[in-house]
């Protein structure tokens, strides 16, 4: 026994599949993803909602997983960096980040990828200003954001081109 | 389909081809090449080096597959929490952990009395304890460590550790530290104040230099402290195995130094301790020394027999610090009327915080590189680092050279103005020449300073803009130099600073083993690229095993921008030996001369008759058959460059990189708000191993410099850090970051691997003074301290106009009506 409240067993919808998981109900979504589901791709940089490293998608919207209780996530669709690639193919945003050198140390990267994925999947014709505004809640200390913005632009362009040629995500 | 119908794969011989696609590489437009593209030792020309391509580890970074230290979870693992001082300066009267120990789920508690060893990253200042024994020196100083079955219990138990303090007066400023009537933070019978280190150096005839000067300029500057704030918080996992061996996974830039100090603190031989440095989520110098929580985790893992993880929270990262020293300067420069410098006297006072850290080196660094950019015939330096009751300061990107560069370049612009010289032309006029030495005995090799000035000015149309700007808009230039690796190791020894091992597999894969730590600067790709270039294969054919004291040869670590130069040279030597073996075997088979064997495109061929070729795999197998297992080693020793005087160990480097920044700003003269419109930065990298990575380092350095120039601060109230979180500690977001243009200048250093120097730290240094100089151009007044804020701009405008006009414009305020009772 410890001071932690007893675990609860619940089902979460993570990366397109239901998963049963038992966790201490005081835990944030971030902690349950990393510690109870082994999905360590999602990172933490402050656990106070300041840095954006822990961003995941909840029902396709960017959410700071350090500020969300896992217990409140039942019935919602959670998507993490591990769920971006499909059938061994990188998501266009991942491909673009790798190609553009948008990931230096790579620690803030999953947060940027999720914010960026929501952006490029839901919006077309993005201007640089729109991209800068969308990622303003994600901090990066390595890149100066230059290559991150380039990468999101590249992913957006590729996805638009693919969509116009009949490819759907 | 029946099994018999399936095609049979023959394993009798290896397939010649390889299904993996080469990494697409392209030429970067940002590179200005002066270096030869087919040097004598690279007759095939470059196929990897110098191109722009995705880093080999980019693809695992974007999938979340890479394991950082805190991503490691071991069975039966305990979670640790440090108990930290809540007061800045006190005698520790009592530490009572009985209530914490009694909490269910708590497995062990350690206090200062458990580890009676003092250590420090520099052998000259071993002044730290893992946990305080009888004194605490800053808010955040570790006192105890609790480990429990889960993190929540550890946190709760940490609160239950009862600490009784007897408060001492806290020393908060440099001035207080210099006083004789306040208690000493570290007892030192040889002094009556809190001075930690003094350095006094004089080169050339300084007195005569000032006597010859037509003009003498004297100014005071203050560079504010700031911190690295990597997004990854420090984390460690320690495991004590059944075999009595201790393994420590740690977010560290210096696994070798952690190895040495962990062994010393825990009293274990090096053979029984293994340090693994997983990818580091940003370092910037903040993870270059052993931290108390790392040693506490190791101690408690051994004590409990269970793995222990300690991950610092963001507040604790601010306490761990080791960030940029706040430094006050007095700078005196004598010049002739044509601008020629006759003498410089630089005085620096460093606010070191509570412990030594790298501070002795930092003190010297505030003076060491003054002479490496411009010709200085006589130079005097006085440095003084003091202890204060604040988190310890240490090395941050540009280590100790960033602060004086702000002062030097700021004053240089003032001199140019006073003498009626163009700031850019003036810098070219006094720039050091390649392959010379400085008055303080530093050897300069390749130097692209003038080329950097020209490129940055041309790209920004500096001269046109400088002449034509309206008031409020400004353009400014500044230059700097940085080390390509400290010439000497932290502890004096004659062994190589970097080693590398290359193993060639008969399947065509090559593994390079090096003790480097990849903190995002790209060392992993750099090693792969150097080996791939040497052996004529694709970078993705090379695996890099790094940062593991059991598996990899020693590399001193990712600090002082040393890894490309030193580990790169070691890897190049190791790969070169493997190349020679393969070439010998291939030459025999092809009937060619060994020195006419080329390596490119996964082929080994006759340079004079390229169709006469073997696949790389076939050549490797011939070599393995002839020589046995193909494994080679390389070592790098820096040339002995120290001049021999006390303090001469700080400053020498096998080469220096050069950077020039041009900043364009728009200042609102009513509000003082400053908008940086663009930064253009030209960097002499020697030769870029990967142009994309060099661009990325330049952009990152510029970004970090911008934060220091404009907003990052290290403020304290009553001994407490006022803003230990990422919301209040302001850094640039995507909305603040201006466009950054990187220009890469190649000068081909004779000793660098393929001519390469460094890009990790140098590009930060000129950014801050370039902004200061642009602001001065915009408002016709100089700001002498960082960060350059709206408030300081308004004050400077007031001072230069001789009035407090803006304050007079403020409407007279009426006191609010009293609150009704």
* B564-588 per-position pLDDT tens digit: 999 999 999 999 999 999 999 999 9
Question: What's the pLDDT band for B20 if we cut at 50, 70, 90?
Answer: very low
Closest-CA residue of chain B to A45 = B231
Query: B79-110 pLDDT, tens per residue?
Result: 999 999 999 999 999 999 999 999 999 999 99
- Judged by average pLDDT, the poorest of B38-42, B267-271, B429-433, B775-779 is B38-42
Give contacts of B 276-295 with A, CB under 8 A.
Answer: 279-284
List of domains in chain A: 8-83 (3.10.20.30), 92-164 (1.10.150.120)
Specify the pLDDT at position B42: 87
Question: What's the pLDDT band for B3 if we cut at 50, 70, 90?
Answer: confident
Q: Are residues A98 and B150, on separate chains, in Cβ contact within 8 Å?
A: no
Query: B111-165 pLDDT, tens per residue?
Result: 999 999 999 999 999 999 999 999 999 999 999 999 999 999 999 999 999 999 9
Contact status of A65 with chain B (Cβ, < 8 Å)? no
Query: B524-534 pLDDT, tens per residue?
Result: 999 999 999 99
Rounded Cα distance, B231 and B279, in Å:
13
Rounded Cα distance, B92 and B90, in Å:
6
- A98 contacts in chain B (CB < 8 Å): 54, 58-59, 61-62
Query: B190-234 pLDDT, tens per residue?
Result: 999 999 999 999 999 999 999 999 999 999 999 999 999 999 999
Could you say which DSSP state residue B565 is in? I
- Is-contact B177 B388, C-beta < 8 A? yes
CA dihedral (B513, B518, B523, B529) positive or negative: positive
Specify the pLDDT at position B19: 44
Question: What's the pLDDT band for B806 if we cut at 50, 70, 90?
Answer: low
Domain assignments of chain B as residue spans, ordered by start:
69-168+228-320, 327-485+644-801, 492-636
Question: What's the pLDDT band for B435 if we cut at 50, 70, 90?
Answer: very high
Give contacts of A 94-153 with B, CB under 8 A.
Answer: 94-95, 97-101, 103-110, 113, 131-133, 135-149
Specify the pLDDT at position B593: 96
Specify the pLDDT at position B812: 60
Specify the pLDDT at position A169: 45
Specify the pLDDT at position B821: 53
Can you tell me the mean pLDDT for B310-339? 98
Backbone φ and ψ of A77, nearest 5°:
-95, 120
CATH topology identical between B69-168+228-320 and B327-485+644-801: no
Q: Look over chain B and give the mean of its residue pLDDT values, rounded to a whole number.
A: 95
Specify the pLDDT at position B479: 98
Specify the pLDDT at position B168: 98
Q: How, if at all, do strands B597-600 and B740-746 pair?
A: unpaired
- B61 contacts in chain A (CB < 8 Å): 97-98, 103, 106, 109
Beta-carbon contacts of B504 under 8 Å, excluding residues fewer than 6 positions away, are B510, B535, B578, B582, B620, B623, B624, B630, B631
Q: Look over chain A and give the mean of its residue pLDDT values, rounded to a whole number.
A: 95
ipTM higher than threshold 0.85: yes
What tokens were used for B643?
């001049």
pLDDT above 80 for B13:
no
Specify the pLDDT at position B447: 98
Mutate which: B70, B279, B734, vs A, most A CBs within 10 A: B734
Rounded Cα distance, A91 and A115, in Å:
13
Mutate which: A78, A141, A143, A154, vs B, most B CBs within 10 A: A141
Question: What's the pLDDT band for B40 if we cut at 50, 70, 90?
Answer: confident
Question: What's the pLDDT band for B546 if we cut at 50, 70, 90?
Answer: very high
Specify the pLDDT at position B811: 52
Domain B492-636, classified CATH 3.30.365.10, yes or no = yes
**Identity of the residue in A50, A100, A135 whose CB atom sits nearest the CB atom of B725:** A50
Question: What's the pLDDT band for A87 if we cut at 50, 70, 90?
Answer: very high
How many CA atoms, within 13 angstroms, populate the side-chain half-sphere of residue A42?
33
Query: B665-722 pLDDT, tens per residue?
Result: 999 999 999 999 999 999 999 999 999 999 999 999 999 999 999 999 999 999 999 9
Specify the pLDDT at position B467: 87
- A135 contacts in chain B (CB < 8 Å): 734
Q: Which CATH superfamily is domain B69-168+228-320 in?
A: Aldehyde oxidase/xanthine dehydrogenase, a/b hammerhead (3.90.1170.50)
Domain B327-485+644-801, classified CATH 3.30.365.10, yes or no = yes
Mutate which: B20, B26, B62, vs A, most A CBs within 10 A: B62
The SS3 call for residue B656 is: strand
**Closest listed residue to residue B62, CA positions, set A95, A162, A18, A157:** A95
Give contacts of B 633-692 with A, CB under 8 A.
Answer: 692
**Identity of the residue in A1, A85, A141 whose CB atom sits nearest the CB atom of B230:** A141
- Is-contact B770 B659, C-beta < 8 A? no
pLDDT above 70 for B60:
yes
pLDDT above 90 for B516:
yes
Query: B627-637 pLDDT, tens per residue?
Result: 999 999 999 99
Query: B465-496 pLDDT, tens per residue?
Result: 998 888 999 999 999 999 999 999 999 999 99
**Identity of the residue in A24, A97, A142 whose CB atom sits nearest the CB atom of B62:** A97
């Amino acid at each position: 026994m410890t001071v932690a409240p007893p675990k609860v067993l619940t089902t979460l919808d993570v990366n397109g599949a239901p998963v049963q998981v038992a966790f201490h109900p005081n835990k944030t979504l971030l902690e349950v993803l990393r510690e109870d589901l082994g999905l360590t791709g999602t990172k933490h940089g402050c656990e106070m909602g300041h840095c954006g490293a822990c961003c995941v998608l909840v029902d396709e919207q960017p959410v700071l997983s350090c500020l969300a209780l896992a217990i409140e996530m039942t019935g919602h669709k959670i998507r993490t960096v591990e769920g971006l690639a499909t059938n061994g193919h990188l998501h266009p945003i991942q491909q673009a980040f790798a190609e553009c050198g948008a990931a230096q140390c790579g620690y803030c990267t999953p947060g940027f990828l999720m914010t960026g994925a929501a952006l490029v999947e839901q919006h077309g014709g993005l201007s640089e200003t729109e991209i800068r505004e969308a990622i303003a809640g994600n901090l990066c200390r390595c890149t100066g954001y230059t290559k991150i913005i380039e990468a999101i632009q590249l992913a957006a362009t590729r996805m638009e081109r693919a969509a116009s040629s009949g490819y759907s995500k | 389909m029946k099994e018999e119908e399936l095609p049979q794969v023959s394993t009798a011989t290896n397939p010649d081809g390889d299904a993996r696609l080469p990494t697409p590489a392209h030429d970067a437009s940002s590179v200005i090449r002066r270096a030869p593209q087919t040097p004598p030792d690279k007759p095939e020309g470059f196929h990897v080096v110098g191109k722009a391509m995705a880093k080999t580890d980019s693809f695992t970074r974007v999938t979340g597959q890479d394991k950082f230290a805190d991503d490691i979870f071991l069975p039966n693992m305990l979670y640790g929490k440090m108990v930290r001082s809540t007061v800045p300066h006190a005698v520790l009267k009592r530490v009572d952990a009985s209530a914490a120990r009694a909490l269910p789920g708590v497995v062990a508690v350690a206090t200062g009395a458990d580890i009676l060893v003092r250590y420090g990253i520099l052998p000259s200042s071993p002044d730290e304890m893992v946990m305080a024994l009888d004194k605490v020196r800053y808010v955040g100083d570790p006192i105890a460590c609790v480990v429990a079955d889960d993190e929540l219990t550890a946190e709760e138990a940490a609160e239950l550790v009862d600490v009784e303090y007897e408060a001492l007066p806290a020393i908060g400023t440099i001035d207080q530290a210099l006083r004789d009537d306040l208690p000493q933070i570290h007892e030192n019978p040889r002094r009556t104040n809190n001075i930690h280190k003094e350095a006094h150096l004089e080169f050339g005839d300084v007195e005569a230099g000032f006597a010859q000067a037509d003009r003498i300029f004297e100014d005071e500057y203050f560079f504010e402290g700031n911190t690295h704030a990597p997004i990854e918080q420090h984390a460690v996992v320690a495991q004590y195995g059944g075999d009595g061996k201790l393994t420590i996974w740690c977010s560290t830039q210096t696994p070798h130094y952690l190895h040495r100090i962990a062994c010393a603190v825990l009293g274990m031989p090096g053979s029984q301790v293994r340090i693994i440095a997983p990818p580091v989520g940003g370092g910037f110098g903040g993870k270059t020394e052993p931290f108390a929580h790392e040693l506490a985790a190791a101690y408690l893992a051994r004590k409990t027999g269970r793995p222990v993880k300690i991950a610092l929270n963001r507040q604790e990262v601010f306490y761990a610090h080791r960030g940029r020293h706040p430094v006050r300067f007095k700078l005196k420069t004598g010049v002739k009327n044509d601008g020629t410098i006759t003498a410089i006297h630089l005085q620096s006072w460093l606010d070191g915080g509570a412990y030594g850290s790298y501070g002795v080196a930092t003190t010297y660094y505030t003076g060491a590189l003054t002479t490496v950019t411009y010709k200085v015939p006589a130079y005097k330096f006085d440095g003084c680092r003091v202890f204060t009751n604040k988190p310890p300061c240490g090395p941050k990107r540009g280590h100790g050279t960033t602060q004086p560069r702000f002062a030097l370049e700021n004053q240089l612009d003032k001199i140019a103005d006073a003498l009626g010289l163009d700031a850019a032309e003036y810098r070219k006029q006094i720039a050091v020449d390649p392959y010379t030495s400085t008055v303080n005995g530093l050897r300069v090799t390749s130097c692209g300073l003038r080329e950097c000035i020209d490129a940055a000015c041309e790209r920004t149309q500096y001269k046109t803009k400088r002449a034509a700007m309206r008031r409020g808009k400004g353009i400014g230039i500044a230059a700097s130099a940085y080390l390509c690796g400290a010439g000497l190791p932290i502890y004096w020894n004659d062994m190589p600073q970097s080693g590398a091992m290359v193993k060639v597999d008969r399947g065509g894969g090559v593994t390079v083993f090096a003790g480097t730590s990849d903190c995002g600067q790209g060392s992993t790709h750099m090693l792969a690229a150097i080996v791939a270039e040497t052996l004529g294969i694709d970078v993705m054919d090379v695996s890099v095993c790094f940062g593991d004291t059991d598996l990899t040869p020693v590399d001193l670590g990712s600090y002082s921008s040393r890894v490309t130069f030193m580990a790169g040279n070691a890897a190049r030597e190791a790969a070169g030996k493997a190349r020679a073996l393969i070439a010998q075997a291939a030459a025999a088979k092809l009937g060619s001369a060994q020195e006419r064997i080329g390596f490119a495109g996964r082929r080994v061929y006759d340079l004079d008759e390229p169709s006469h070729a073997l696949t790389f795999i076939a050549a490797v197998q011939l070599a393995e058959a002839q020589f046995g297992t193909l494994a080679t080693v390389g070592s790098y020793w820096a040339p002995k460059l120290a001049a021999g005087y006390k303090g001469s160990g700080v400053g020498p480097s096998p080469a220096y990189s050069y950077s020039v920044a041009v900043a364009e700003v728009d200042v609102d003269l009513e509000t003082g708000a400053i908008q940086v419109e663009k930064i253009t930065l030209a960097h002499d990298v020697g030769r870029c191993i990967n142009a994309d990575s060099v661009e990325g380092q330049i952009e990152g350095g510029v970004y970090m410099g911008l934060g220091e120039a404009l907003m990052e601060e290290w403020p304290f109230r009553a001994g407490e850090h006022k803003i230990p979180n990422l919301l209040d500690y302001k850094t640039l977001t995507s909305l603040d970051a201006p466009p950054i243009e990187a220009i890469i200048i190649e000068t081909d250093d004779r000793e660098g691997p393929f001519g390469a120097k460094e890009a990790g730290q140098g590009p930060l240094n000129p950014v801050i003074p370039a902004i200061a100089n642009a602001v001065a151009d915009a408002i016709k007044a100089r700001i002498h301290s960082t960060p350059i804020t709206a408030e300081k701009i308004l004050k400077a405008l007031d001072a230069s106009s001789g009035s407090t006009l803006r304050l007079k414009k403020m409407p007279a305020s009426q006191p609010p009506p009293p609150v009704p009772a």
